[in-house]
Amino acid sequence: MEQTFIMIKPDGVQRGLVGEIIGRFEKKGFSLKGLNLITVDRPFAEKHYADLSAKPFFNGLVEYIISGPVVAMIWEGKNVVTTGRKIIGATNPAESAPGTIRGDFAIDIGRNVIHGSDSVESARKEIGLWFPDGPINWQSSLHSWIYE
């Protein structure tokens, strides 16, 4: 079953959105396979966002991510990478539809509350970086009520 890496950014934690965000993924039917409240240091944040190192907003992005604790998660389910991105909404909250997390809870692109892997390959890399011990191995007993 597909897995994705989801992170509630420091603004999401500070604003008390952790329960709301976890609830949206749970209610959809996805399974939580890893969960960690963690403050990361600069080299770690730079590694996570290495693909964006040439962008003009890179330093500000790293400052933002290390500014407080984040909630790192592994979520599992059919098409969870693509569907997770839909639940999150567009990168710029101004372009995120109402009903998405960024559409409902964010205004500025640099304070957009949540991260989600953009492909199965980046999910694999990000899960490896944030969860070196891998996911927690369990199966929801609701499986046959969610999948045909």
Closer by beta carbon to ligand ADP, 2 or else 118: 118
Q: In the sheet that 31-38 helps form, which strands lie side by side, from edge to edge?
A: 31-38, 70-76, 3-8, 114-116
Closest C-alpha to 36, from 142, 147, 144, 136? 136
DSSP conformation letters of 5-27: EEEE-HHHHHTT-HHHHHHHHHH
Q: Would the annotation count 102 as a binding residue?
A: yes
Q: Would the annotation count 24 as a binding residue?
A: no
Minimal distance, residue 137 CB to ligand ADP, in Å: 28
Q: What tokens were used for 60?
A: 């500000």
Which residues on neighbouring strands pair with residue 37, listed in sequence order?
71
Binding interface with ligand ADP (CB under 6 A): 52, 57, 61, 91, 109-110, 112, 115, 118
Minimal distance, residue 142 CB to ligand ADP, in Å: 29
Q: What tokens were used for 51?
A: 């693909």
Minimal distance, residue 118 CB to ligand ADP, in Å: 5
Residues belonging to the active site: 115
Q: Would the annotation count 105 as a binding residue?
A: no
Q: Would the annotation count 57 as a binding residue?
A: yes
Closer by beta carbon to ligand ADP, 57 or else 138: 57
Closer by beta carbon to ligand ADP, 61 or else 80: 61
Q: What is the dihedral of CA 101, 86, 133, 125, to 10 degrees?
A: -120
Q: Binding-site residues, please?
A: 9, 57, 85, 91, 102, 112
Q: Binding-site residues for ATP, please?
A: 9, 57, 85, 91, 102, 112
